Amino acid sequence: MVRAGIVGAGGYGGCGAIEILSRHPEVEIKALIDKEDVGKRISDLYPHLKGVCDLEIMSPQDPRIEDLDLDVVFFATPDGVGQREARKWLGRGVKVIDYSGDFRFNSAELYAGYAERIGRDKRHLSPDLLKESVYGLPELHRNEIKNSRIVGNPGCFAVSCILGIAPLVKEGLIDTETIICDSKTGVSGAGKRPNPLFHYPARYDSMNAYRIASHQHVYEIERELSSLSAKDIKITFTPHVVPMCRGILSTIYARIEQGRTIQHILEAYREFYKDERFIRLFPSGTLLQTAHVRGSNFCNICPNLDERTGKVIVISVIDNLVKGQAGNAVQNMNIMFGLDEELGLTFPGIYP
């Protein structure tokens, strides 16, 4: 059994990991750690976990943590926590999967650009660890993840956008200077902490764009697409918050290269994702909904071509809290420990 600990267990990301790991046949949750709600049972915070996981939340300063015998720790924490705390776990032979942007980049220079976007100190507290961290998107980096001891889980928007357009970039089917990613997300992406902008009266029956031309996830999207194409790619990315709880729908546009057809596009997607269990491809024109992936680790993708304008239009849909966060993290864990990648993740979601 893989012995797991979750730091930041009381947040949505921690709760998501508990939900998945509790039904994982090869994992035992040994410790829940958080700076808030210390001493409370996790099932007191989230009653749906009663009888499933009733562990008490430990303080990060609890001396009992030194005696924990763990194999992996999930950092379901904001930026800055993992880069400060990961080293002590790694030093004990524990593998680390971090939800934040702390380990998504392989150099201090790349991290600095990301940190500036989110208003953090551009200096990374563990720059030496960046050299061995792996970007945790299994569909692109499975082999590196397999041999890594520290993985930076991708941003939720990045998962949706990268998976949505990667085959087109890889096969050179589009003009990469014309890529536009337009993404809509539910309010759970803002996390559990109360915020006036996400107060029910402010969100009900209302939507808005935000962080226009300045969202931090664009760094990882551009880095991954550039790697696939072997040239520098810049995209236009605009996120929106819509009045729903969970889910991301990304509409991705680009100009198709001359002489390419919808058949070329569909074949590129089929070939690129032929062995990917959590990618589901749909025929052009299919009406994809966020409800179709709610609670699941799937990414639903529908490629389309507007022949009148010569534009590719790809719809990519995920649950931001599962494939965009906890589910993808567990998928990474399975790979890191040589387990069946699907373990704990084959749940189809819930509908409606």
Neighbouring C-alpha atoms within 13 Å toward the C-beta of 299: 32
Compute CA 317 distance to the chain's CA centroid, rounded to the nearest angstrom: 13
| CA distance linking residue 138 with residue 149, whole number of Å | 15
| Sign of the four-CA dihedral 312, 317, 318, 319 | positive
Question: Is 156 a known active-site residue?
Answer: yes
- Locate tokens 């889980």: which residue? 153
8 φ/ψ sector (left φ>0, alpha ψ -120 to 50, else beta): left
Name residues whose C-beta falls within 8 Å of residue 186's C-beta, 6 or more positions apart in sequence: 241, 242, 244, 245, 246, 247, 248, 290, 320
Choice among 53, 156, 299, 302 that is catalytic: 156
The 3-state DSSP class for residue 113 equals helix
| Sign of the four-CA dihedral 201, 76, 1, 343 | positive
| CA distance linking residue 241 with residue 228, whole number of Å | 29
Comparing C-alpha atoms, which of 20, 42, 103, 92 is closest to residue 343? Answer: 20
Comparing C-alpha atoms, which of 150, 145, 217 is closest to residue 181? Answer: 217
Structure tokens at 216: 């931090």
- Buried b / exposed e over 298-315, threshold 16 CB at 10 Å, is bbbbbbbbeeeeebbebb
Catalytic residues: 156
